Chain A
Amino acid sequence: MSDDHVYMTLAEGHEDDSRWAFGTGFEDPLHGVDTAVPEGVDAAALAADCVALADDALVLAQRLAEWITRAPELEEEVALANIGLDLLGQARLLYSRAGQTDGTGRDEDAYAYFRDPADFRNVRLAELPREDFAFAVTRLLVLSAWRLEHFRRLTAHPDPVLAAVAAKGVKELTYHRQYAAEWVVRLGDGTPESHRRTRTALDRVAPYLGELFTACDVREEVVAVLRQVTEAAGLPMPAYRPLPGSGRDGEHTEHLAPLLAELQSVARAHPEATW
């Protein structure tokens, strides 16, 4: 290997430039999928569903990214970033689909950067602040278990694009759920401190479960997962007291606005710019 021409030596074996870094390239999951809205599908409703699911993914990815340079071990930095990248990828595809179907022709960034908090439709659990690692993995367990079952159903959606996005997401979410479940078990079983923190996290998450099941009723499957994990972790099943309201109706906690203010700050400071 010659090091006289630094770039020449790096070109070897890298025809596949789209994969220059993980999570940003890979094959197009929509390759060969017809993007016309099939007959009988309500385009406006389809777009609204896509936006809501994209908002969930974007907001949670933003929270996960807050862990970068703050994770408890370097290996976890890599894992959390992987999960954040998967969710960002899902959000981008879903926003794009919304833009194709709601008649506005907007691109993904128009949805992410130029809507106000009241226009976001994510479930509130995704927007709650970062807290500690016990909360991070507990929230991830609940959201990925719920989203996984939701996506499983969507693989049979009459819109072929949404069905294809869901099929890709199922693989990713299966991994997210496993990662989170393993950690909840470790923390629940680990030390008195980790047990206490995980219990607190479960209590913090529980009031937001009802909202998830109103958005997509996969209660039975999700509760079964939670029961299995909490049992292995030696944790009690959280008491189930649903909080009124829903992010799906644009009702949010006080935490969404600052999250979006940060996310949108540069894009809104330069509305004419291209990046």
Chain B
Amino acid sequence: MTTQSAQAPPPERLQEDFDATIAHDQRIEPRDWMPDGYRGTLVRQIAQHAHSEIIGMQPEGEWIGRAPSLRRKAILLAKVQDEAGHGLYLYSAAETLGTDRAELTQRLIEGRQKYSSIFNYPTLTFADVGVIGWLVDGAAICNQVPLCRSSYGPYARAMVRICKEESFHQRQGYELLMTMMRGTDAQREMVQDAVDRWWWPSLMMFGPPDDASPNSARSMAWKIKRHSNDELRRRFVDMTVPQAEKLGVTLPDPELRRNEQSGRYDFGTPDWDELTRVIKGDGPCNAERMRRRRSAHEDGAWVREAATAHAAKQAARARKEAAA
């Protein structure tokens, strides 16, 4: 803190206050003292989340121009627009931690910060739009609803807004799939094919298994995160299997079955090597996604500069007028 006086409180005092706030389930707010690790973890997580919303516009955005009815076109355009909005809410939350958005954007397009691996898979048919809504947004909801109680105030508040809209995104996806399943044989095949391609990547959205996720424990202690990766993944499976049955699609996992004792579902192990590969940049669409984001940013530079120049000229004109 730049303006703090010489007689700053001792670090133990600050740490105690912070710990007490977390212990009482109260929110940490932007100007509070916080450990550097807490701040850094939040910046990383919120930025990654924001980047995911923005990159996530691309796979679905591909289909706005080709949506097969005007109603679906409007829904999809609105949905992709919501994602831009979510990205903005999240960048706004990240900025309260003292990193500005331009810096975060720079880190993204230089590949120094990640986004969700799921968006490195291609959207091959219009059924993918429905399956992304159902499975990908469904998984996102499982991840995100607990974040509405995250210990960092601005993040938690952004998540409340986002989760409300996400639930509608998921519903529109499921509704599209229901409609397609009632349609032609070709449509039903498209749906099943999309489910086959997106199921495992959706499970990977919860991150590596708990024993390979060293930072999870710390994030949970800080109440940034509320549940472990594996627990969230299980919740998602429990929630999704009955929906798949109702829809009439088969989830591509031979090991998937109901465990009569626990009442929950046992399921197979995702291909963690694939997740590692995709995170490292070798997914089917990593290069394409980054290229699009980078060129939008670079192609827009002259527009942003022009607006800044105009604002400066306007301010100068106003000063001159006031002086006259």
**Which A residues fall within an 8 A CB radius of B?**
1, 3, 6-7, 9-11, 13-14, 17, 20-24, 58, 62, 65-66, 68-78, 81-82, 84-85, 88-89, 91-92, 95, 108-109, 112-113, 132-133, 185-187, 189-191, 193-194, 197, 262-263, 265-267, 270, 272-275
Contact = CB atoms under 8 A, between A and B. Distances in A.
B28 interface: no
Those 5 A-B pairs whose CB atoms lie nearest each other, nearest first: A72-B300, A190-B306, A20-B168, A194-B306, A81-B81
Given A73-B304, A74-B84, A88-B73, A68 B68 contact: no
Contacts of B186: 270, 273
A273 B57 CA distance: 26
Given A3-B226, A66-B65, A275-B180, A23 B70 contact: no
B77 A23 contact: yes
A273 B187 contact: yes
Contacts of A263: 65-66
B298 to A, nearest CB: 10
A88 B305 contact: no
A69 B61 contact: yes
Interface stretch (B169-177, B246-254, B264-272): B169-177
16 contacts: A13-B164, A21-B82, A23-B77, A24-B71, A24-B75, A70-B295, A70-B296, A72-B300, A74-B88, A92-B70, A133-B300, A191-B302, A191-B306, A194-B305, A266-B66, A270-B187
Given A75-B88, A191-B302, A6 B235 contact: yes
A22 B61 contact: no
B211 to A, nearest CB: 24
B12 interface: no
> Which residue, A66, A71, A186, A265, has most C-beta atoms of chain B within 10 A?
A186
A270 B68 contact: yes
Given A194-B302, A273-B184, A274-B183, A81 B78 contact: yes
- A interface, by DSSP: helix, strand, loop or mixed? helix
A75 to B, nearest CB: 7
Given A68-B57, A69-B58, A92-B74, A81 B303 contact: no
Nearest to B306: A190
A81 B148 contact: no
Contacts of B152: none
- B interface, by DSSP: helix, strand, loop or mixed? helix
Contacts of B78: 21-24, 81, 85
A72 B168 contact: no
Nearest to A137: B303
B80 interface: yes
A275 B68 contact: yes
A68 B80 contact: yes
Contact of A272 (B91, B149, B179, B184): B184
A193 B302 contact: yes
Given A85-B78, A190-B306, A9 B145 contact: yes
A109 B70 contact: yes
Interface string B147-176: 011000000000000011111110110001
B2 interface: no
Contacts of A108: 70
Contacts of B299: 70, 72, 132
Given A65-B77, A69-B292, A74 B87 contact: yes
Contacts of B69: 109, 113, 267, 275
A74 to B, nearest CB: 6
Given A85-B77, A186-B306, 19 more contacts: A3-B145, A3-B148, A9-B148, A13-B164, A21-B168, A24-B78, A69-B61, A73-B300, A81-B77, A82-B81, A85-B74, A92-B70, A186-B307, A187-B306, A194-B309, A265-B66, A266-B68, A273-B180, A275-B126
Interface in B100-139: 126
Contacts of B57: 68-69, 77
B141 interface: yes
A6 B81 CA distance: 24
B34 interface: no
